Chains A and B, each alone.
Chain A
Amino acid sequence: MINYLLYLYAESPVHAGASGSDGALDLPIQREVATGYPVVWGQSLKGALRQAARDRGLDDDSFGSQTVNEVFGPPPSQGDEPGVNPQAGLLRVGDAQLVALPVATMQRTFAWATSATALSRLARKYRYAEADRTLPTIPTPNAARGYAGDQVWVGSEHEEQVVGPCLVNFESLVPSPQAKDNNKDESEDKSKDEQESTSEDKGEDRSADPVYQWGELLAQEALGEREALEPFASKLKKDLLVVGEDVMQLLVRQGTEHTVRVQLVPDTKEVKQLFSSEYLPAETVLAAVLTLREHPDRSEEHQILVQELLEDSVLQIGGDETVGKGLVWSKLVEAHQ
């Protein structure tokens, strides 16, 4: 078996629709029942991958329908007999779980919020994928607090940052010398320039900070060295915030986008009905584990297909594609087992 860790980075808001309405929300996104974290079900993701293979003509020209069907399984209508799928697909697609959620902040416009739960699951995915990485320690802040890698987010005991609908006090797991000096006299006002300058600007080495290390890892592996994403990769290193579970629970519920849409009567242009949709915001980071079973003769071709399909490409996931939703950048982390 070959395992892949698949990162998805949302270019536009993503609507992977759930099974029913959620209170006043007509079209909620998929969420895990245990944690309430947003998720993209494996079945939805697999369908999107199959459609992507078709859209790129991989079942016509380069690989042929046999190879695509071997990887994804034959279309449902091709079974000769009811109740039996004559061949299961070789690719097993797991749920894409939340890694980091962009949230509005009062400085630097936005930051990415993650949690010990989300990072623990990502670490587990690395273990499943047997990707040879030494992962950073997983920070575990108190329920209503957080850890930041860059000193610009770190304040004194009662200095809080606006993070979406929350006010959160951030600490640094590896306090900088500057921060230590500031803490000696908390009443001393920091100049505006000093507040806005990053640890990088000050020449501080943050490489020992686990939060910074996670940001760096995600920047490298989820976004990669892609020119279009470089500013965001650079920002992710500095603006990843690990928040406590109480804060994360609010963010995953209130940090998604709710859009009210209108259906008009075509002739009169009168409002026929209003409905509300929920979206995972652009810049969200998700991760899933894919497992490709080996074929006695054609494993290499299957691997090339998966790599060509997913390595450094833009996919369409979820609904509302005709109004620009659901574009995600994909990135593969591969490991052999």
Chain B
Amino acid sequence: MSPTGPTAEEAREGRWAVIEPRDTVHVRDGRAFDAGEDSTAYTVRPWPSTVAGALAKALGGEPSCVRGPVLVHQPKPDKREVFFPVPADLVTSSQAGRSEVWRLSVPDRAPEGVVTDLDEQAPQAKGARVPSYARRSEPLTGWVPATVLSSYLAGTLFGSRRSTSTADIRLRDPVLFETRVGLGRDADTRTAEDGKLYRTSHIRLQDRWQFAAQYVPARDDEPPPRGPVPFGGRGRLAEICLDEQLAWPPVPDEFPNGQMLLYVVTPGIWARGWIPPLDPGTVLVGACVPEPVVVSTASPNDTYREFLASRASYWAVPAGSVYYLKFPSPETALVWARTWHNHALEPARPRLDTAGFGVVLTGVWP
């Protein structure tokens, strides 16, 4: 951690901010909620825009762009490690107690007898296939450290093995949901008011876990962020500090046969829905995209009309999604990767990319 912030050269590359919630985090998923009608509010992991808003508050103005959030684990005061959502093409056994992890593969041709209209936008795209030796499988969820993701992106995670294990990939799931109830109380009678009982869920990170995001300051001499800042709803606060030791997994040195794996770090909101914006000539060979998430944003305003005008909901590709791409040549793939690795792809609406939506990493696929 640096009390004074990185140098000007490092600043151009972006600074890593660590966000430590003081208590729980409450970020609404956008569904309408009124106590007494639909009396349950659901919470989600903080959106990139939630982090961008907190950073803007901490910096005293909007940064040029935000990339994140991810999670960081801090086992010691001077050591933090970045964790990423598990890639969607990793699966595990559905049998209790089994901890094997397998990787889906891209078939040479689409399976027979499967009819889908998904191929209208990407005619050559094929669904990934579960290996034959891993019949009873289910999606693997959780977080893996940057070293494991780096190995995955480099294509060396499994080596010559058919499978690995949740212990080997250091799978963690430090995001816990805490259900809370609230009630409207009549101050005079000191009793609960009729129809004003509601239920919400809050996120509680396990001890020594924090959120983190990289941001590019608006100017080189911008001072480090200063907390506490509001983070999510319900008046919750978070501390913010810089950590110059954090880093993204590196870009691979080469992309044999022009094959590139695109890993989605933060929810992507793209013009073609589930298909990322790609250069002409790049073929989408296959994809593993879990259920879409609904991203809702709004800005605090003084009036209901302004509030309505500022809020929006989008379908987004979830973090952890994986795309298998084929570029015309290894060289074009390398150029593209060096341009977009740890950056946000072009969004469906302006400013969603600088708010942190659609950040991707690149790797290779076998």
Chain A residues packing against B (C-beta within 8 Å): 1, 3, 17-20, 30, 32-35, 41-44, 46-47, 51, 54, 75-76, 80-84, 86, 88-89, 92-95, 117, 120-121, 128, 289, 291, 321
Contact = CB atoms under 8 A, between A and B. Distances in A.
A76 B302 CA distance: 16
A20 B179 contact: yes
A256 B179 CA distance: 21
Contacts of A1: 228
Contacts of A44: 182
B24 interface: yes
13 contacts: A18-B181, A20-B179, A33-B178, A34-B176, A34-B204, A41-B180, A43-B182, A51-B185, A81-B303, A84-B303, A88-B235, A92-B235, A94-B237
B239 A128 contact: yes
Contact of A92 (B24, B178, B181, B237): B237
A84 B190 contact: no
A43 B206 contact: no
Given A17-B181, A80-B304, A92-B237, 10 more contacts: A19-B181, A33-B176, A42-B23, A44-B182, A84-B304, A89-B235, A120-B207, A121-B207, A128-B239, A291-B228
Nearest to A96: B23
B326 to A, nearest CB: 44
A147 to B, nearest CB: 20
B79 interface: no
A291 B235 CA distance: 10
A128 B228 contact: yes
Contacts, number: 75
B336 interface: no
B22 interface: yes
Given A43-B234, A95-B23, A289-B22, A81 B187 contact: no
B176 to A, nearest CB: 5
Contacts of A32: 178, 204
Interface pairs A-B: 9 shortest CB-CB: A81-B304, A33-B178, A19-B181, A92-B235, A95-B23, A19-B179, A33-B176, A84-B304, A34-B206
B180 A83 contact: no
Contact of B190 (A3, A46, A120, A321): A321
B235 A86 contact: no
Nearest to A75: B187
B238 to A, nearest CB: 10
Interface in B170-184: 176-182, 184
Contacts of B182: 43-44
B24 A95 contact: yes
A269 B301 CA distance: 56
B235 A76 contact: no
Contact of A51 (B187, B206, B236): B187
Contacts of A3: 228
A84 B299 CA distance: 11
B32 to A, nearest CB: 9
Contacts of A89: 235
B307 A128 contact: no
A84 B234 contact: no
A297 to B, nearest CB: 18
A183 to B, nearest CB: 33
B338 interface: no
A235 B185 CA distance: 38
A289 B228 CA distance: 12
A93 B304 contact: no
A83 B31 CA distance: 12
A255 B302 CA distance: 47
B23 A94 contact: yes
A151 to B, nearest CB: 31
Contacts of B22: 94, 128, 289
A3 B22 CA distance: 12
Contacts of A80: 304
A202 to B, nearest CB: 37
A95 B180 CA distance: 12
Contacts of B302: 86
B228 to A, nearest CB: 6
Contacts of B307: 83-84
B178 A84 contact: no
B73 interface: no
Contacts of B187: 51, 54, 75
B199 interface: yes
A19 B236 contact: no
B235 A93 contact: yes
A131 to B, nearest CB: 14
A43 B180 contact: yes
Interface string B1-32: 00000000000000000000011100000000
Contacts of A76: 184
Interface string B217-235: 0000000000010100011
A86 B180 CA distance: 24
Contacts of A120: 207
Interface string B286-321: 000000000000000111100100000000000000
A244 B222 CA distance: 44
Contacts of B207: 34-35, 117, 120-121
Contacts of B230: 92
Contacts of A17: 181
A33 B204 contact: yes
A18 B178 CA distance: 10
B301 A92 contact: no
Contacts of B237: 92, 94, 291
Contacts of B178: 32-33
A84 B305 CA distance: 10
Nearest to B182: A43
Contacts of A117: 207
Interface string B344-365: 0000000000000000000000
A257 B205 CA distance: 28
Contacts of B23: 42, 94-95
A312 B340 CA distance: 58
Contacts of A95: 23-24
